[in-house]
Structure 1
Amino acid sequence: MFSSLSKTLLRRPLFLPATLRLISTAAAAPSRPSFTVSYLVNSCGLSPESASSVFNRVVFRTSARPDAVVNVLKSHGFSQSQISRLIGKGPHLLLANPERTLLPKLKYLSSVGFSVSDLANLISASPYLLTRSLEKHLIPNFGRLRDFLGSDKNAVAAIGRSPKILFKGFEATVDPFVKILRDHGVRESSIMWLVKCHSRTMIHWYDRLEGTVEKTKRMGFDDPSAAKFPVAMLAVMAMSESKWERKFDAYGRWGWSRDDAMSAFVKCPRCMTMSEEKIMAVMGFFVNELGFESSFLLQHPRLISMSLEKRIRPRGLVFKHLSSHGLMKTKIGLTTLLTVSDEDFLVKFLTPHIGEVPELLDIYWEKKHMAMGTVVP
């Protein structure tokens, strides 16, 4: 038996070399990860810990291909931190063919309107876009989105907010929630706005969309075709019960009941999407600085959603100064003063009174420049 086994082993000479090859590979292994990890740290900006983790997914013996990939990224405006982020998420891209795999896709995305900075942000956040076929996936899916939204610019904006639209595809991401909204009678312009500006939320909460639409109706928005319906729906979808309670509490500190807050919400859904800090600051300005009752904002909740520093405060102080000189007779005038365009504000409320109250311009522009972070000339 021993003799037979010996002959069998002699007839299989590959057994011993294979064993030696395993031993040789194990002995040589430290030099391979050492080169890869060093490259990831020194050329791609990864931390040693991240580089060690990435090594489990990609190994290379020379820097020729990775150098070519990194150089393409740098030439397209990617910063070191963006390259690190990209490689950390998609290390296999270091072995991609730049001419065949990367450049055509980068050039196409640039051609449809992604700026240098937008493109770098997009790809570093979602590097797997570069693994999709240009002709079979990226071009047709961008085309579907562009046709739906009406322009390349709108499609670029939507993808910038939710890269998943382009990565997963229009039919897998946008079509499902658009169908639900149409079935419930949401107007087309509102659907387009949701696709352009809030696709990330709509895609993420798709399984709750039917229930959200019905809940929004029960809260007083019984006409889904109304322009304010999608804003209310987003508020209902995005806010937990605890957030709603915090908003009720913020308004309650200024004398509003829960019914008051819900009444304001139905008039202007955005008033419930503001942070508690914003609610307190706006209420404080109207009540403490302008001397209004909080009930004024209950009648005009739209004002709560405006920028305090860029619009409410500069214009509100002009209103206060005009009132102190007897040039603004009613509080109702404040709503017009706050809601008109900048041009109309200057023409209707500043210019006519410069002769009587020349300091008005200084009051307005000082606050305006402070809000914009610029130096008063």
Structure 2
Amino acid sequence: MFSSLSKTLLRRPLFLNAALRLSSAAAAAAGSSRPSFAVSYLVNSCGLSPELALSISNSNRVAFETSARPDAVIDVFKNHGFSQSQISNIIGRGPRLLMASPEKTLLPKLKYLRSVGFSGSDLANLITGFPYLLTRSLEKHLIPNFGRLRDFLRSDKNAVAAIRRSPRILVKGFETTVDPFVKVLRDNGVRESSIVWLVQCHSRRMINWYDQLEEIMEKTKRMGFDDPSAANFAVAMLAVMGMSKSVWERKFNAYGRWGWSRDDAMSAFVNCPRCMTMSEEKITAVMGFFVNEMGLEASYLMQHPRLIPLSLEKRIRPRCLVFKHLLSNGLMKKKVAFTTLLSMSDEHFLAKFVTSHIGEAPELLDIYQEKKHMEMGTLVPEIAHSAK
């Protein structure tokens, strides 16, 4: 009998440990050796720690004596693809949701969010991060705020992308989060297309830096971007917004290793603000590839700084290695500038430099596919198949 009991305990050490912690925590706080039904449920069905479950129970945030309603709530989350760990996080942060009506409170909101484009992991991640969303009114908060964002960005897809990057827009509302910084941008003459881009892609930063936005725009103007209506003003403003003086110095130093002066780097920044939004590692990698592997002068990149922010793995390396192979094998009939080579669309590049030379150099597909990022993995095999 002792041997059988020992084997049972060894097989389930985690459950025993949780049970002991639950019992001792409840007894210490409530003076009883038996935890309440709610505490037991939070631990056994929701995956919360005994300490957190007891804290929630003692704060009167939940109180139930049967599992009917909580089970129904958990089933709603499971049926919408939420993992057990996500459900635990949601209940831990918003335990009152266990008492919500699935039919009246949860399902209509989840159904609406799915209908506008939140599905699968997007929906689960949104609710896990902000379970408070499910306590907001569907008719008075979620629908009108999503609608305002959708109208501003001109599509459900763009609105979902913006919320994915900055959920606070939907949690706190468009009027509270987006309207204030949009007004400042418009009052200062920033072009509408740039404002739309900032709302869709960079709302989180704009909201966080709202109190300093006027100061940041003035600093951006002093750095050489004196026209807020110019297309590159918004990018420059983000660079100014996101970098401390020490970070600026490190990036000046990164370019300095290739012979650029501070004035050279600032000139490149004015021509292409994204040159200063990259990490020092990316600057070093791109400059090194162009100079050491492709034989370009650093001064050429100074004159064409728009080449530097391009993706090294997705665009620069695969295209340049194909070009280099064609050149070394005498297959290039005309001169092609690097600016042209790297700025054309993927389809145009493949047609002009890969498929048109398959007969003479079938290895081009291997060179390009080996170095190209996986997102092009479906395009290259199709071309290879059609070329056979």
Question: Contact (CA 8 Å) 1:32, 1:59: kept in 2 or not?
Answer: no
Residue 322 of structure 2 aligns with which residue?
A: 318
Q: Does 1:41 align with 2:63?
A: no
Q: Does 1:237 align with 2:207?
A: no
Deviations 1:136-174 (A, max 9, x none): 111111111112111222211111211111121111111
Residue 119 of structure 1 aligns with which residue?
A: 123
- Provide TM-score, normalisation by structure 2: 0.84
Residue 102 of structure 1 aligns with which residue?
A: 106
- The 1:124–1:31 alpha-carbon spacing in structure 2 relative to 1, beyond 3 Å, is farther
Residue 337 of structure 1 aligns with which residue?
A: 341
Deviations 1:219-244 (A, max 9, x none): 11111111111111111111122221
- One-letter amino acid matched to 2:312: L
Residue 253 of structure 1 aligns with which residue?
A: 257
Inter-partner Cα distance in structure 2 for 1:191 and 1:160: 18
Question: Contact (CA 8 Å) 1:33, 1:55: kept in 2 or not?
Answer: no
- One-letter amino acid matched to 1:260: D
Residue 162 of structure 2 aligns with which residue?
A: 158
Q: Does 1:143 align with 2:147?
A: yes
CA RMSD of aligned residues (A): 2.5
Task: Give the gaps of 5 or more residues in structure 2.
Answer: 1-26, 382-388
Residue 69 of structure 1 aligns with which residue?
A: 73
- Provide TM-score, normalisation by structure 1: 0.86
Deviations 1:313-369 (A, max 9, x none): 111111222232344588862221111111110222223434444432321122126
Q: Does 1:296 align with 2:300?
A: yes
- The 1:90–1:291 alpha-carbon spacing in structure 2 relative to 1, beyond 3 Å, is same
How many residues get paired?
352
State how 1:1-377 maps to structure 2 within 5 Å.
Answer: 30=32, 33=35, 35-57=37-59, 58-60=61-63, 61-328=65-332, 333-368=337-372
**Match of 1:305, SS?**
coil
User: Displacement of 1:296 after TM fit?
Assistant: 1.7
Who wins on radius of gyration, i.e. which is larger? 1
Structure 1 stretch displaced more, 354-363 or 169-178: 354-363
Inter-partner Cα distance in structure 2 for 1:295 and 1:235: 23
- The 1:63–1:261 alpha-carbon spacing in structure 2 relative to 1, beyond 3 Å, is same
Inter-partner Cα distance in structure 2 for 1:364 and 1:107: 44
- The 1:333–1:124 alpha-carbon spacing in structure 2 relative to 1, beyond 3 Å, is same
Question: Contact (CA 8 Å) 1:223, 1:229: kept in 2 or not?
Answer: yes
**Match of 2:337, SS?**
helix
User: Displacement of 1:26 after TM fit?
Assistant: 10
**Match of 1:46, SS?**
coil
Question: Contact (CA 8 Å) 1:37, 1:52: kept in 2 or not?
Answer: yes
Question: Contact (CA 8 Å) 2:369, 2:377: kept in 1 or not?
Answer: no
**Match of 1:84, SS?**
helix
